[in-house]
């Protein structure tokens, strides 16, 4: 079973780096999931823990390639 690892965290869904990272991972054909994206997008309207960050996760076997992409947007 493949293991998911977090490669980046963001404080909100409006961070341009989040959109850029998602686009670059797609172009590199690296599958990813975004955790807490919807919860953070509606946060002003609901009570949710403010310490929940938006996390981008990938499969561990693509970690080195994804790290290079993350470095390029920092």
CATH label of the domain that carries residue 21? 3.30.70.790
Are 31 and 59 within 8 A, CB to CB? yes
- pTM for the model: 0.81
Strand ranges (DSSP E) for 1-74?
Answer: 4-10, 32-35, 54-59
Q: What total number of domains does the chain contain?
A: 1
The whole domain housing 26 covers: 4-73
Mean pLDDT value across the chain: 87
pLDDT for 14 beyond 90: no
What would the mean pLDDT of 40-51 be, rounded to a whole number?
56
């Amino acid at each position: 079973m493949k293991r998911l690892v977090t490669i980046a965290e963001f404080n909100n869904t409006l961070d341009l780096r989040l959109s850029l990272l998602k686009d670059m991972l797609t172009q590199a054909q690296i599958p990813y999931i975004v955790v807490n994206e919807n919860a953070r997008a509606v946060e002003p309207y609901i009570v949710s823990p403010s310490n929940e960050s938006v996390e981008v996760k990938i499969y561990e076997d693509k970690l080195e390639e994804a790290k290079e992409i993350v470095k390029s947007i920092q």
